[in-house]
């Protein structure tokens, strides 16, 4: 069974929901565990045996559906641990990209740039385990070293506001010769007509290599589609 995530407007409702869920799953012979919360009051009400286990160095970071959740501050964060290879190969490149788990597309621009690099290697038909040519290896190691900056990013998990008058989904899209993408924002409009917008998700697939080279036509076609 996989993890699940939900929320309520206050601690009291969360406690009621927890009791109902525990009761329902107990009847089917299942014990819910790995509990965690952004509310310290609610977290302290969980039995210690049923709380999520974390290492001391990451005591306030939980895994939530595969993502790192700084639960007491209620932010999604990203951890990277990639070392520069003296002689990187196409396999190394693929391995690093595959380990950047980002189901919501919060790191879309970063991962898209790395996928474009991998696509270039495929078009050049480099052998999977052969060392990359020096200029390309230097470019790759520069990309890897820049990944450390990802750890500075904090994305609020809570994308709503209290008592909004109106909720509006805003979608923006664009394309280029290398990739095209779309990003979705939630705009919360308040009674005084002020608003706040939060990132919901994004997608940025690559453009497949085309047999002809009229890129102006390709970009216009992607924008229309």
What is the rounded distance in angstroms from the CA atom of residue 218 to the CA atom of residue 215?
5
Q: What is the pLDDT of residues 52-105, one digit of tens each?
A: 555 444 656 777 766 888 888 999 999 888 888 899 999 999 999 998 889 999
Regarding predicted confidence, which is higher, 152 or 221? 152
Residue 167 pLDDT exceeds 50: yes
pLDDT at 217 over 70: no
- Give alpha helix (H) positions in the chain: 11-27, 40-44, 90-98, 108-123, 134-146, 215-224
Residue percentage of the chain with pLDDT more than 70: 85
Q: Report helix, strand and coil shares of the chain as percent, to nearest 5.
A: 35, 20, 40
pTM here is 0.78
List the structure tokens of 58. Answer: 């990451």
- Tokens standing for 200? 């919901």
Indicate the domain borders of the chain: 159-224
Q: What is the mean pLDDT of residues 189-218?
A: 81
Reported as a pLDDT band with limits 50, 70 and 90, residue 1 is low
> What tens digit of pLDDT does each residue of 181-190 get?
999 999 999 9
Q: 193: which 2 tokens?
A: 């007509």
Residue 219 confidence (pLDDT): 53
Q: What mean pLDDT is predicted for residues 132-160?
A: 93
């Amino acid at each position: 069974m996989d993890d699940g995530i939900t929320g309520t407007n206050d601690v009291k409702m969360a406690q009621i929901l927890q009791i109902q869920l525990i009761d329902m799953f107990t009847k089917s012979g299942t014990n819910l565990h790995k509990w965690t919360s952004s509310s310290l009051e609610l977290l302290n009400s969980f039995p210690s045996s049923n709380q999520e286990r974390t290492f001391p160095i990451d005591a306030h970071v939980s895994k939530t559906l595969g993502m790192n959740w700084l639960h007491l501050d209620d932010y999604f964060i990203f951890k990277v641990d990639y070392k520069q290879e003296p002689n990187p190969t196409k396999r190394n490149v693929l391995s690093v990209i595959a380990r950047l788990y980002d189901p919501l597309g919060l790191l879309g621009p970063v991962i898209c740039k790395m996928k474009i690099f991998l696509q270039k290697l495929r078009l050049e038909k480099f052998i999977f385990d052969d060392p990359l040519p020096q200029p390309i290896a230097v470019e790759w190691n520069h990309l890897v070293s820049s990944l450390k900056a990802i750890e500075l990013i904090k994305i609020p998990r809570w994308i709503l506001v209290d008592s909004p008058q109106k909720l509006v989904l805003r979608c923006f899209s664009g394309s280029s010769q290398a990739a095209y993408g779309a990003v979705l924002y939630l705009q919360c409009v308040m009674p005084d007509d002020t608003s706040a917008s939060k990132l919901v998700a994004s997608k940025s697939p690559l453009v497949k290599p085309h047999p002809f080279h009229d890129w102006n036509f390709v970009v216009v076609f992607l924008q229309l589609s």
